[in-house]
Amino acid sequence: MRYVLKKACVFVATLLVISVFVFLAFQIIPGDPTTRMLGTQATPEKVEALREELGLNAPPVLRYFRWLKGFVTGDFGMSYSYNMPVNELLSGKLGITAALTVLSFIMVVLISFPLGILLARFAHSLTDRLFMLFNQIVMSIPPFFVGIIFTYIFGLVLKLFTPGEFIHHADDSAGFWGYLFFPALAIALPKSAMVVKILRSSMVSQLQEDYVRTAFSRGNSHWRVLRMHVLRNAIIPVVTFLAVTLVDIFAASIIIEQVFAIPGLGRLLLGSITGRDLPVVQTIIMIIAVIVITVNFIADISYKYIDPRIRFR
Amino acid sequence: MRRTPNYNLILGCTLTAATVSVIILGFFWTPYEPDAMSIAERSVSPCAAHLLGTDNFGRDILSRVMQGAGTTLEIAFLAVSIGATCGTLIGGLTGYFGGIADEIIMRVNDAVTAFPSVLLALVAVAITGGGKTNLIIVLGILFIPSFARVVRGEFAKQRNMDYVKNAKLMGVTNLRIMFVHILPNIAPVLLSSIAIGFNNAVLAEASMSFLGVGVGPTESASLGRMLLDAEAYLFSAPWQALSAGFAITILILGFALISDGMGYRPTWRPVAKRRRKADA
């Protein structure tokens, strides 16, 4: 329990440090939002009035705390280009990206665990070697290119879905998940290849241990040894990697959204970056930071439950 | 114990050598002028005259892939150079001397490496603006932590070894110990990190340019940019996207096989040793 508390303190401290960095980074960007918002109608008086209205004239420290308070309470400020509150822009978009990430993560687990165990069972055979080479090739294809290949094969040639025609969850729930299937698979394939590789090598190295010989000598079948003994020990590094993978999938989904025209967080982020809509960019970056740090925090804590041998100070 | 040949390393080196030769050839000679447009030959499918076909402006895709891969590799090379040089300096100094600076820098490193590099690059480009030069600088800076982490670990291990203590007794200066005595000893680890760095850099360049925030449309062709432009013609001219995409894949595969063949596991490092079945 003390360990969890200590980790929780570090978690909050990291978030605060990152919030300071994010705030500072957006302070040094040249350009004044008022010139953009007012456009050709900018007069010195109007600029000054708008600066006052946006709270840009307050000292930086005060503005930081205002921004932080706003972020915690869910008031993310106003978007410069859409002239609407950022949280209205975000509502719904975060859910779509989260759905895509979770779907893809489930696929990674479903694909990689059976394959990894199977390959460990037949390690060093010809099939294993050939598959590992294939695995390496799959690992090297960028997710967005897998997405493009899928769009071509399943969208344009086989017409299993219509590229670019996103179906919202409110309109058609089944259609929504159906549309997300191929984007999720496009992210999941290269990531699964990585998990397969790690799970396989982790299991193969565990197979050399003495306890495996003991388990065999007690008359356990090969599969039983793998499942009951080896997998339990081999899974620890894999869980570490799965935490990294979850964050990577989230990042990849932001890119994949471009390929499949999914109106999620990624499209909003990119649109705001090219449009220099800083409050939106700032908010999305902070949300991403919160997600990344939370995932790592949960992974840190979960080790204890997966591997009771790990002692924490 | 019979040693099996290191297929991954051999395959990776062959593949990378082949692609790099084609890229170097592309600097001096391409089948057609990469930017030469031809109205008569728009979106020609692959044939004898145009091995990979032409794009919607009638530009020869093979020539553009050769040039684009060159741009991609150039960005990767410069970014990895920045990252490896600064990372080695920082990692070497902190690992060798230790102390409070070491602690602080490593905590910052941990925080930075927890974020996916593509996201960080996106954020950085949001702040600095796009373009080839900015992309190189941004990626270079983003690669520093991973190099620093690897080099620091190795320096911390080596600094307590006998040869370092001997050198110290003989009055060799710290700087000389670091760069003349220790650095050659960590070369294998550093080299495989560089291979991984190239792998990540090619992927990052391709992703950023594909998202339209990397190499600009008016700058020279790059593989990610070509993929972005080709996406609109996916149905009518799929060879455009496929050529650029497979070129990226082959580049990445070559570097991945090399780093894999060097027996180095990236930061997650699940196993300490890899034993073959023969000596089990």
How confident is the model at residue B273, as a pLDDT? Answer: 45
Q: Which residue has the higher pLDDT, B171 or A33?
A: B171
Check pLDDT > 90 for residue B266: no
Q: Is there a contact between A136 and B260 if contact means CB atoms under 8 Å apart?
A: yes
Check pLDDT > 80 for residue A78: no
Check pLDDT > 60 for residue B240: yes
B277 and chain A: CB distance < 8 Å anywhere? Answer: yes
The pLDDT-based confidence of A30 (bands split at 50, 70, 90) is low
B280 and chain A: CB distance < 8 Å anywhere? Answer: yes
- CA-atom Rg of chain B in angstroms: 22
Name the residue among B149, B152, B122, B150 with its Cα closest to residue B134: B122
Check pLDDT > 90 for residue A3: no
Name the residue among B85, B66, B79, B60 with its Cα closest to residue B28: B66
Check pLDDT > 60 for residue B254: yes
The pLDDT-based confidence of A310 (bands split at 50, 70, 90) is low
How confident is the model at residue B187, as a pLDDT? Answer: 87
Top-confidence range, A29-43, A154-168, B201-215? B201-215
Residue A73 neighbours by CB under 8 Å, 6+ apart: none
The pLDDT-based confidence of A35 (bands split at 50, 70, 90) is low
How confident is the model at residue B115, as a pLDDT? Answer: 77
Task: Give A126's contacts in chain B (Cβ within 8 Å).
Answer: none
In whole angstroms, what separates CA B54 from the centre of its chain?
28
Q: CA triplet B78, B79, B83: central angle to 5 degrees?
A: 115
Check pLDDT > 80 for residue A154: yes
Q: Is there a contact between A296 and B114 if contact means CB atoms under 8 Å apart?
A: yes
Mean of the per-residue pLDDT values of chain B? 83
Q: Which residue has the higher pLDDT, B264 or B82?
A: B82
Residue B207 — φ and ψ, nearest 5°? -60, -45
CB A161 within 8 Å of CB A179: yes
Q: Is there a contact between B241 and A238 if contact means CB atoms under 8 Å apart?
A: no
Name the percent of chain A lying above pLDDT 70.
94
CB A273 within 8 Å of CB B126: yes
Name the percent of chain B lying above pLDDT 90.
22
Check pLDDT > 90 for residue B27: no
Mean of the per-residue pLDDT values of chain A? 83
Residue B221 one-letter amino acid: A
CB B261 within 8 Å of CB B10: yes
Name the residue among A144, A130, A108 with its Cα closest to residue A257: A144
How confident is the model at residue A47, as a pLDDT? Answer: 76
Q: What is the C-alpha to C-alpha distance for residues A55 and B178, in angstroms, rounded to an integer? A: 52
Check pLDDT > 90 for residue B252: yes
Give pLDDT tens digits for A173-227: 888 888 899 999 999 999 999 999 999 988 888 888 888 888 888 888 888 888 8
Residues B163-186 have a mean pLDDT of 89
Chain A / chain B CB contacts < 8 angstroms? 123
Three-state helix/strand/coil letters over A78-117 = ECCCCCCEHHHHHCCHHHHHHHHHHHHHHHHHHHHHHHHH
Q: B44: which DSSP letter?
A: P
Name the residue among B86, B236, B59 with its Cα closest to residue B146: B86
Q: Smallest CA–CA separation between B31 and chain A, in Å?
A: 26
Report the range of poorest mean pLDDT among A133-137, A267-271, B55-59: B55-59
* Residue B135 burial (C-beta neighbours within 10 Å; 0-12, 13-18, 19+): buried
Q: What is the C-alpha to C-alpha distance for residues A183 and A101, in angstroms, rounded to an integer? A: 10
Check pLDDT > 70 for residue B41: yes
pTM of the full predicted structure? 0.84
Q: What is the C-alpha to C-alpha distance for residues B89 and B34, in angstroms, rounded to an integer? A: 39
The pLDDT-based confidence of A303 (bands split at 50, 70, 90) is confident
Report the range of poorest mean pLDDT among A16-20, A77-81, B61-65, B152-156: A77-81
How confident is the model at residue B279, as a pLDDT? Answer: 42
Q: What is the C-alpha to C-alpha distance for residues A146 and A187, in angstroms, rounded to an integer? A: 8
How confident is the model at residue B3, as a pLDDT? Answer: 59
Residues A146-168 have a mean pLDDT of 85
Task: Give A273's contacts in chain B (Cβ within 8 Å).
Answer: 122, 125-126, 213
In whole angstroms, what separates CA B158 from the centre of its chain?
27
Taking only residues 103 to 122 of chain A, the set having a beta carbon closer than 8 angstroms to any beta carbon of chain B reads: none
The pLDDT-based confidence of B267 (bands split at 50, 70, 90) is very low
Q: The tokens of B24 are what?
A: 């170097």
Q: What is the C-alpha to C-alpha distance for residues A49 and A37, in angstroms, rounded to an integer? A: 12
Taking only residues 273 to 302 of chain A, the set having a beta carbon closer than 8 angstroms to any beta carbon of chain B reads: 273-274, 281, 285, 288-289, 292-293, 296
Task: Give B203's contacts in chain A (Cβ within 8 Å).
Answer: 142
Give pLDDT tens digits for A239-260: 878 888 888 898 888 889 988 8
Name the residue among A70, A297, A184 with its Cα closest to residue B114: A297
Which domains occur in chain B, in start order? 64-264 (1.10.3720.10)
Q: Is there a contact between B274 and A241 if contact means CB atoms under 8 Å apart?
A: no
Q: Is there a contact between A148 and B280 if contact means CB atoms under 8 Å apart?
A: no
How confident is the model at residue A31, as a pLDDT? Answer: 62
Q: How far is CA A279 from CA A87, A91, A147, B95, in A?
A: 11, 15, 30, 39
The pLDDT-based confidence of B112 (bands split at 50, 70, 90) is confident
Q: Which residue has the higher pLDDT, B24 or A33?
A: B24
Q: CA triplet B228, B230, B236: central angle to 5 degrees?
A: 150
Q: Which residue has the higher pLDDT, A36 or B2?
A: A36
Among partner residues B234, B256, B272, which is closest to A152 by beta-carbon distance?
Answer: B234
A198 and chain B: CB distance < 8 Å anywhere? Answer: yes
Give pLDDT tens digits for A101-141: 999 999 999 999 999 989 988 888 888 888 988 998 999 99
Q: Smallest CA–CA separation between B7 and chain A, in Å?
A: 10
Q: How far is CA B6 from CA A170, B118, B258, B259, in A?
A: 54, 31, 10, 12
The pLDDT-based confidence of B275 (bands split at 50, 70, 90) is very low
SS3 of residue B60 by DSSP: strand
Which domains occur in chain A, in start order? 2-73 (no CATH), 92-306 (1.10.3720.10)
Q: Is there a contact between A141 and B126 if contact means CB atoms under 8 Å apart?
A: no
The pLDDT-based confidence of A48 (bands split at 50, 70, 90) is confident
